[in-house]
Amino acid sequence: MKRNRYHHLSEHHGIELFEASFSRQTFGRHAHEGFAIGAIAEGAGGYVCRGESMVLPAGTLSLMNPEEAHTGHAAAGWVRYNMLYASEAAVRAMLDLRDLRGFSTIAPRDEGLQVTRALSALALSLNTPTLKDHRLAVEESLHDVLAKAFSCYGRAALRPAGREPRAFRRLREMIAAGIEAGEALTLAELSDEVGLSVSYLIRSVKRATGLTPHGLIMQARVDHARQAMLDGVPAAEAALVAGFCDQAHLIRQFRRHYGVTPGALIRH
């Protein structure tokens, strides 16, 4: 059974993620200062909230507003879930929101498992800290969880993603320059340079390219490594030059982008 983990993200407004997996653990009546956004991945969870006893099977969300008292336990022998805790100030800052109305439904079904998958991606980012763009990947995953939860279930009116060709050209230039210089890139620096909020930048880049900023960076790193290998640089060295933590990471990403390993790259 996977053990519990609790991540405190001091660099991201003190947001926290609880990776829970238990059978006998129970939580007495309590409340959280901020929002609690959770997704049942396996098993079933249960609690008493708003005077009602609830059972939450896999595929169900747990959406608590600040100071909402509740209990907690495994309702079917065992439960595994991810739960994000974020203050109102953190949500407003990350989503660039003025109006924040909160959640009206405590335990809705997660349509398309959007929030469930976003929380899982965040947990994966937190548990793979060796990547050069680790901080950027974590922040991007945080934005994804909050945007999906509040736009789908919290009636939040996020600024619609727009077309920003000039900003995207500058973004690609910054990514290329950062990789060339061997730097770790951050969303704060990228958004400041192109003059767009982080939340709007992520959603607009996804609309325009089908990739997130982190996806663009990863693609650029693979391309950089590919060119280095075509210039005669050994794969292990090319991986480090392009900003990968090791050759194995480059191989995984190279196969994902090109369908082959670096060893299958043949120069004629």
Q: How confident is the model at residue 1 (pLDDT cuts 50, 70, 90)?
A: low
Kindly state the tokens that stand for 77. Answer: 């022998």
pLDDT band at 114 (very low <50, low <70, confident <90, very high): very high
Which residues of the chain does CATH 2.60.120.10 include?
A: 5-131
Query: Is pLDDT at 188 greater than 80 in this prediction?
Result: yes
What distance, in Å, lies between the first and last C-alpha atoms of the chain?
51
Average pLDDT over residues 32-43: 96
Return the CATH class of domain 165-264. Answer: mainly alpha
Question: Where exactly does CATH 1.10.10.60 map onto the chain?
Answer: 165-264
Q: Tell me, what's the pLDDT at 136? A: 92
User: What is the tens place of the pLDDT at every residue in 80-104?
Assistant: 999 999 999 999 999 999 889 999 9
Query: What is the Cβ-side half-sphere exposure of residue 89, based on CA atoms within 13 angstroms?
Result: 4
2 vs 241: which has the higher pLDDT: 241
Residue 50's pLDDT band, with cuts at 50, 70 and 90, is confident
pLDDT, one tens digit per residue, over 215-241 is 999 999 999 999 999 999 999 999 999
Give percent above pLDDT 90 in the chain.
85
Residue 133 in this model has a pLDDT that exceeds 90: no
Buried b (16+ CB within 10 A) or exposed e, 127-166: eeeebbbebbbbbbbbbbbbbbbbebbbebeeeebeebee
Q: Is 40's pLDDT higher than 80? A: yes
Listed residue (99, 101, 85) closest to 34, CA to CA:
85
When pLDDT is cut at 50, 70 and 90, the band that residue 183 belongs to is confident
Mean pLDDT score of the chain: 93
**% of residues, the chain, pLDDT over 70:** 99
Least trusted range by pLDDT, from 18-22, 43-47, 244-248: 244-248
The yes-or-no verdict on residue 130 having pLDDT over 80 is no
At 261, is the pLDDT very low, low, confident or very high (cuts 50, 70, 90)?
A: very high
pLDDT in tens, 189-215: 999 999 999 999 999 999 999 999 999
pLDDT at 134 over 80: yes
Fold topology of 5-131: Jelly Rolls (2.60.120)
In which band, very low, low, confident or very high, does the pLDDT at 3 lie, cut at 50, 70 and 90? Answer: confident
E strand or H helix that includes residue 19: strand 15-22
How would you label 99-109 residue by residue, b for 16+ Cβ within 10 Å and e otherwise?
Answer: eeebbeebbee
